[in-house]
Chains A and B, each alone.
Chain A
Amino acid sequence: MTWFGFGFDGFGQMRPAGVSGQASCNVNTPVLISDVCGSECGVRVRASWSSRADVHRARCGSHVCVSGFVSGSSEEDCGAVLPESEGCTDALISERYLTLSFTDRVECWEIQHPQNKLVWKREQDNTGHAVALPLVSGGYIMPKPPFFRPLCSKLCAVSLALGSEHAVLLTSDGTVYSWGSGSHGQLGHGALTSQEEPQVVEALWGVPIRAVSAGNWHSASVSRNTEQPINEDEKKEADVFISIQAFPALVDVPNVSEISSISCGSRHTAAVTGTGDLYTWGWGHYGQLGHGTENSTDEPTLVDYFPSHHMCVKDVICGLWNTFVSAVPKEQPPS
């Protein structure tokens, strides 16, 4: 499994050669992330605006490596290992905080200072069926004080996507809830008002959803059976196009029958198909769409790099202005 990245690289979170070495901070076509090591470990990549955190899970132990602004001037190939993260099972990174979950606890570390500082901690039961961050037992973790927010346990939350001012929740029966600021239609309730408490996205009622994602002002979800991604409430970058869609709308990804995963950056979206292709759309000024240009587009477009290098895309994670992709070589068809 190899990881690739494209988009904003102003802090060397993609190419650890150092900021001053680059002519431009934009990476328009996918580059290999050399420091995500190990075929032994599964690695999960997480990204903020200025940094990247790789969660290495190995049988011998897990830890997080960081690169970009947070790692300081580390020029090692493998990013900087965070000793605080030894044994963690998952991590999330934002500009100010790193959230680490362990089997018995969750911690938030402030990463803006020269020394990382533990600012919040909470014990938790090893529930066996662990949920993914930012969900924790009983609620979820926001990347700012007071960190922990409770969630009604009746919701049976399975995954949670946090945008800059809204949240999208997926429950075990495939229902989507949303809350927070609604000013750009990102809640999918049909109006532009905000909601304090989780509200069902009625328009998706009856469509079992299996993944949700949230950008700064938009949300995206993937349905279980009917395959197509559903983009809730797009708001795109001002000088390219502005559209506000306050109800979920089906996104037409041409020639595609199934979407396996989806991720949102601040103003762009990326989707992986069942056949291992990557499509991106939205704001592209930093090359985060990976098409070799700095153009934006509102049409899902294939990232040609992967098929032309005989790679099959497995997963995608978006930072604010960049995109990270994991891929494996395509199996040769039997001749």
Chain B
Amino acid sequence: MAPVWTDVRAVLPSTVCEFPLHFSEKIELSVLKVLELARDELYSEADCPAAAERAQVIIDYSWEKLNTGTWRDVDKEWRRVYSFGCLFKVLSLCHGNPSQYDIQEAIKTCDMAFLKQKVKLDCVSEPVINPAQAVPRIHCPSLERFRSDFLDPQKPVIIEGITDHWPAFAEHPWSIDYLRTIAGCRTVPIEVGSKYTDEEWSQKLITVNDFIDRYIIGTAEDGVGYLAQHQLFDQVPELKEDIRIPDYCCLGEGDEDDITINAWFGPGGTVSPLHQDPQQNFLAQVVGRKYIRLYSPDETKYLYPHQSQLLHNTSQVEVENADLVKFPDFSKASYQECVLQPRDVLFIPQQHWHYVRSLELSFSVSFWWS
């Protein structure tokens, strides 16, 4: 295993003085003491066997703080402490002559730090398409035409021809093998269970390799697994280089930095129940096909949204298996549908209800913008 310490050390500030540990007084002095000891050891260059242990102490203590109270109540400072703990653990793992296992642990630790920063919102989307009411398709519309014909009137459309230049289709065509190479050892959150409204729905953290082995290639023993609504491109910058933000996003009011890019990667049969999102969405299909159904917000009265605060943006109706006894008005709702193909980009207007089912192995990228 090639020593990575020189590369890692080069990324850190050169001296202790340039590595201040400033925290609000919410952080107890005892924890601060451990942080300072860990930092000082790092810069002393001496090989310190207790460094990894010290880092683990910081991680474990701040983990307990992060899990006390709701995520809203937890002081941001404890998340910073947790990140420093992870940093020190990674550094101690990379020191000297790390084994393959050490390196994997180091990467997993980085991912844990990354994941703790994220706050999961609750919405999942799945459009379904109906041939008789097909979503219109248009090839490379000008900005003006897109704005006047679709954005302003808030009408869905499939845009063709705007992703051909993506490296994901050209220089690095995305495939299972490519994803393993770029991100195989990275830890990601996976949704397990047929849909998020089900009782057995849950989330777990596994590596991309494990996800591919167990839920993409593997038999359905483990059930349906979906890498859904995850900001994979922030976690794995190399993948971000393979995609481009659609030009039409500039028609919005927000900054480019405020655009949320999510990855949606899973086997055939993943379902996102009918729901609505608060922002405009470009759903770009990279691998595989998806069946998508769209209902305008005007149809909401026929769609039986859940009453609860948590799920009020989600319909109670199973779109492709609707219980018309329980939800009789659902048959009155008019909709559009499509099968989204690789290279297609579907424009889903803000608050438009959508239902999505993957027809085969699928990888989509969504851009939420305002």
Contacts and interface: CB of A to CB of B under 8 A. Distances in A.
Interface of A: 8, 10-11, 23-26, 49-51, 69, 95-96, 112, 164-165, 181, 183, 216-217, 266-267, 285, 320-321
Given A49-B30, A285-B56, A321-B60, 20 more contacts: A10-B54, A10-B57, A23-B49, A23-B50, A24-B53, A25-B54, A25-B57, A26-B53, A50-B28, A69-B29, A69-B30, A69-B33, A95-B28, A96-B28, A112-B29, A164-B64, A165-B69, A181-B68, A217-B67, A267-B64
B30 A216 contact: no
A320 B56 CA distance: 15
Interface of B: 28-30, 33-34, 49-50, 53-54, 56-57, 60-61, 64, 67-70
A49 B34 CA distance: 13
Contacts of A112: 28-29
A11 B29 CA distance: 12
Nearest to B33: A69
A25 B55 CA distance: 12
7 contacts: A8-B57, A25-B57, A49-B61, A51-B30, A112-B29, A216-B64, A217-B67
CB-CB nearest 9 A-B residue pairs = A50-B30, A69-B30, A95-B28, A112-B29, A164-B68, A165-B68, A10-B57, A266-B64, A25-B53
Contacts of B56: 285
A22 to B, nearest CB: 8
A304 B309 CA distance: 52
B50 A181 contact: no
A84 to B, nearest CB: 18
A321 B56 CA distance: 13
A112 B50 CA distance: 25
A112 B70 CA distance: 26
A183 B33 CA distance: 31
A310 B146 CA distance: 84
Q: Classify the interface of chain A: helix, strand, loop or mixed.
A: loop
B30 A181 contact: no
Nearest to A69: B30
Contact of B60 (A24, A164, A285): A285
Contacts of B69: 165, 181
B34 A10 contact: yes
Contacts of B60: 285, 321
A51 B29 CA distance: 12
B48 to A, nearest CB: 10
Contacts of A11: 30, 33
Q: Classify the interface of chain B: helix, strand, loop or mixed.
A: helix
Nearest to A25: B53
Contacts of B28: 50, 95-96, 112
B56 to A, nearest CB: 8
Which residue among A23, A50, A181, A183 has the maximum number of chain B CB atoms within 10 Å of its CB? Answer: A50
A25 B30 contact: no
A49 B53 CA distance: 16
A199 B184 CA distance: 49
Contacts of B57: 8, 10, 25
Contacts of B30: 11, 49-51, 69, 95
A80 to B, nearest CB: 16
A217 B60 CA distance: 15
B173 to A, nearest CB: 36
Contacts of A181: 68-69
A180 B67 CA distance: 15
A181 B68 CA distance: 9
A96 B25 CA distance: 11
Contacts of A96: 28
A97 to B, nearest CB: 11
Contacts of B50: 23-25
Contacts of B70: 183
B35 to A, nearest CB: 12
A101 B33 CA distance: 29
A93 B350 CA distance: 53
A165 B67 CA distance: 10
A242 to B, nearest CB: 11
A197 to B, nearest CB: 18
A216 to B, nearest CB: 6
Nearest to B30: A50
Nearest to A70: B30
A112 B57 CA distance: 19
A320 B64 CA distance: 10
Contacts of B29: 69, 112
Nearest to B29: A112
A164 B28 CA distance: 15
A292 to B, nearest CB: 18
A26 to B, nearest CB: 8
Contacts of A50: 28, 30
Contacts of B68: 164-165, 181, 216
A95 B67 CA distance: 17
Contacts of A216: 64, 68
A10 B70 CA distance: 28
Contacts of B49: 23
Nearest to A11: B30
A289 to B, nearest CB: 15
Contacts of A95: 28, 30
A266 B60 CA distance: 11
B44 to A, nearest CB: 12
A24 B69 CA distance: 31
B143 to A, nearest CB: 48
Which residue among A10, A183, A216 has the maximum number of chain B CB atoms within 10 Å of its CB? Answer: A10
A24 B50 CA distance: 7
A26 B54 CA distance: 11
Nearest to A283: B60
Contacts of A217: 67
Contacts of A321: 60
Contacts of A69: 29-30, 33
